């Protein structure tokens, strides 16, 4: 197998606040191969966005700081890259679709400026060719009449349209990797499906790799090759999509799967995971999921389980891994 396009090793990003150190990302490792779609799944506040921002080196600092780890992109650790090297990587090599399109689009610049400038920087095209490409991209993401809309400002678009503009921007310079942070949460289901189809098509045609951050296990099942389940700053289970859905090993993953409605089990009550994730400023010494876990026993609260191999492509961090299994 070829070396991965992106390899993240023991990445830790903390926020140093007046109320303590928030361990938002606390030692995660995963890799993404060319053309692969990797999903990152987990509850709100578990560090998904911060892990993505850390890769792009866009964590607000202070208070945030990546304190450990490597982010190896095509063989080089980009945590060590200079600012000018980083500018060449962002957009052209790795593009990000941000979770919140209103704060990541500049409100005082037209959509045209925001779409065309990166293309002028990274692609060998004239201004007119960039504008033509911008119109094509808007059309691709379902914004009709693109040539007219180019002169509009972000506030003149709806939330869903802004999200689509962000996706057009991410695709604009043919990046090798797209990190999409909840790319379709503001969209209605029809547009959501259309956008995901567009992204899938582009990815297939251009062999672009993708890291997709989502709460939506339906999206995971449909699009991901590999799934990383994140909980309280750590990856607790990782495997192929099939392994995660058919041979779940971690009680947290099991809880996530059981809290999704299923058409073939409508009589069964949904089982939300009780309780809340721990405070990232004050983490327990044992398993971070222990106080919500229905299988908990003494060892779980004493020491933190490490990721252990289930199969070549499947790992899980749980002391009681052999006793769980989802009814299928």
Residues in contact with ligand ATP by the rule CB under 6 A: 15, 17, 22, 24, 42, 44-50, 60, 63-64, 99, 280
Place of tokens 């899980």: 316
Is residue 49 close enough to count as binding Mg ion by CB under 5 A?
A: yes
Contacts 24+ apart (CB under 8 A), 28-31: 28/228, 28/230, 28/233, 28/234, 28/235, 29/235, 30/226, 30/228, 30/235, 30/238, 31/4, 31/6, 31/7
> Count of residues for the chain?
328
What is the spatial distance between Cα 94 and Cα 8, in angstroms, rounded to a whole number? 14
Q: Are 51 and 14 in contact (CB under 8 A)?
A: no
Report in angstroms how near the CB of residue 266 gets to ligand ATP at its nearest. Answer: 27
Please say which residue, 41 or 105, places its beta carbon nearer to Mg ion.
41
175 binds, among ligand ATP, Mg ion, none (CB under 5 to 8 A by kind): none
With CB under 5 A as the rule, give the number of residues binding Mg ion. Answer: 3
The smaller minimum CB distance to ligand ATP, of residues 42 and 286, is found at: 42
Identify which range of 17-25, 48-56, 163-171, 273-281 contacts Mg ion by CB under 5 A. 48-56
Residue 144 contact among ligand ATP, Mg ion, none, beta carbon within 5 to 8 Å by kind: none
Closest CA to 244 of 316, 144, 183: 316
Query: Quick one: 74 or 185, whose CB is closer to ligand ATP?
Result: 185
- Tell me: does residue 172 bind Mg ion (CB under 5 A): no
> Cβ distance 319 to 298 under 8 Å?
no
CB of 49 to Mg ion, least distance (A): 3
CA atoms of 28 and 264, how far apart (whole Å): 35
User: Interface residues for Mg ion in 85-114 (CB under 5 A)?
Assistant: 99
Q: Which does 2 bind (CB under 5 to 8 A by kind): Mg ion, ligand ATP, none?
A: none
Whether omega before 92 lies within 30 degrees of 0, making that bond cis, reads: no
H/E/C letters for each residue in 122-142?
HCCCCHHHHHHHHHHHHHHCC
Nearer to ligand ATP, 181 or 254 (CB): 181
Cis peptide before 282 (omega within 30 of 0): no
Scanning 44-52, 157-165, 266-274, 296-304 for contacts with Mg ion by CB under 5 A, the matching segment is 44-52
Asked if 228 touches Mg ion (CB under 5 A), the answer is no
Interface residues with Mg ion (CB under 5 A)?
Answer: 48-49, 99
């Amino acid at each position: 197998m070829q070396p991965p396009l992106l390899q993240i090793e023991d990445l830790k990003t903390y926020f140093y606040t007046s109320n303590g150190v928030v361990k938002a990302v606390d030692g995660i490792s995963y890799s993404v191969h060319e053309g692969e779609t990797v999903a990152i799944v987990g509850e709100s506040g578990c560090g998904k966005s911060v892990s993505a921002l850390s890769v792009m080196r866009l964590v607000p600092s202070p208070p945030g700081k990546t304190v450990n780890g490597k982010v190896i992109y095509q063989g080089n650790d980009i945590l060590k890259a200079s600012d000018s090297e980083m500018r060449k990587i962002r957009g052209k090599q790795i593009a990000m679709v941000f979770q919140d399109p209103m704060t990541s689009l500049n409100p005082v610049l037209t959509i045209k400026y925001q779409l065309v400038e990166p293309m002028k920087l990274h692609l060998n095209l004239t201004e007119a060719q960039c504008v033509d490409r911008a119109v094509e991209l808007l059309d691709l993401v379902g914004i009709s009449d693109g040539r007219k809309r180019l002169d509009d400002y972000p506030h003149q678009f709806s939330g869903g349209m802004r999200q689509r503009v962000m996706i057009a921007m991410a695709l604009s310079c043919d990046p090798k990797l797209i990190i999409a942070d909840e790319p379709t949460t503001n969209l209605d289901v029809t547009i959501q499906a259309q956008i995901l189809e567009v992204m899938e098509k582009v990815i297939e045609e251009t062999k672009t790799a993708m890291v997709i951050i989502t709460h939506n296990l339906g999206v995971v099942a449909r699009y991901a090759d590999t799934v990383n389940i994140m909980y309280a700053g750590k990856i607790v289970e990782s495997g192929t999509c099939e392994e995660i859905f058919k041979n779940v090993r971690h009680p947290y993953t099991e809880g996530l799967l059981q809290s999704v409605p299923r058409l073939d089990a409508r009589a069964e009550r949904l089982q939300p995971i009780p309780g809340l994730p721990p405070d990232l400023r004050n983490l327990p010494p044992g398993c971070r999921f222990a106080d919500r876990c229905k299988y908990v026993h003494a060892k779980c609260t004493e020491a933190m389980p490490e990721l252990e191999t289930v199969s070549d492509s499947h790992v899980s961090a749980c002391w009681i891994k052999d006793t769980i299994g989802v009814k299928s």
